[in-house]
Amino acid sequence: MTVRLLLLILASVSLSALAQLTLKIGTTAAAGGRSTGIGGEIGGLAQSPMIILGLGLYGIGALLWLFVLGRAPLSLAYPFVGIGFILTMLAGAFWLNESISVARVAGTLLIAIGCVLVARSA
């Protein structure tokens, strides 16, 4: 695997994790305690700048991922998606003050170890 390809994989995964963070912030802000029903909530989501940003980040990440898939074996590239779990967990903890249990950390570390083992087998 080339350094360029690895950087593209990491950029795609990072954009997906960032998209999760922005979507969570956007849905929390759009819900904002309103009880206008599902129609009103969907309208609020569609107008939320953070939701729009999150979807855009997903789109860019997906385009990068398509580029990666055209150049790397799926069995090599896909395990790196596990890094997104790590980034998303950390983002939730640092920016959203979500609690992280020992079990969650252990599971996330197992994912990270798996990613390293797959990458080393390339």
Q: pLDDT digit string (tens) for 80-111?
A: 888 888 899 999 999 999 999 999 999 988 98
pLDDT at residue 42 above 90?
no
Buried-exposed string 94-104: b where 16+ CB fall within 10 A, e elsewhere: eeeeeeeeeee
Euclidean distance between CA atoms 79 and 60, whole angstroms: 19
Report the run of H or E that residue 28 belongs to, with start and end. helix 3-31
Q: Which two tokens stand for residue 89?
A: 């967990």
pLDDT of 77 > 60? The answer is yes
Taking the model in full, what pTM does it have?
Answer: 0.80
pLDDT in tens, 4-25: 999 999 999 999 999 999 999 9
